Amino acid sequence: MEKVYFVYILASDRNGTLYVGITSDIAARVWQHRTGAVPGFTSRYGVHRLVHMEAFSDVDEAILREKRIKKWRRAWKLELIERDNPQWLDLYERINA
């Protein structure tokens, strides 16, 4: 079975504080953010709504994509989110169903 890596964006609210990350277990990682299991930026700023994710089969591609998105202007990140998730729905409910 091939491993899948996810680049994801969390938001505190629509147009709120954003966080970009990478993981091989999206459900578990978002749960950690949501519950504050790992102290840090997301728990401090209430960033726990999964609003964007992309899947990669190559970890190097995923890391490169995460680094690029992190360097983007905020407006570009908002455009990326709104292109695929215009209502800013919490995608965690879809992956954890």
Q: Where are the domains of the chain?
A: 5-95
In the DSSP assignment, the letter for residue 30 is: H
Confidence of residue 80 (pLDDT cuts 50, 70, 90): very high
When pLDDT is averaged across residues 15-19 and rounded to a whole number, the result is 95
Classify 18 in phi/psi space as left (phi over 0), alpha (psi -120 to 50) or beta.
beta
* Per-residue pLDDT at 97: 60
Given a cut of 80, whether residue 96 has pLDDT beyond it is: no
> What does the alpha-carbon distance between residue 55 and residue 47 come to, in Å, rounded to a whole number?
21
What b/e readout covers 58-74, taking b as 16+ CB neighbours within 10 angstroms? eeeebeebbeebeeeee
For the domain with range 5-95, which CATH number is right: 3.40.605.10, 3.30.565.10, 3.40.1440.10, 3.40.630.30?
3.40.1440.10
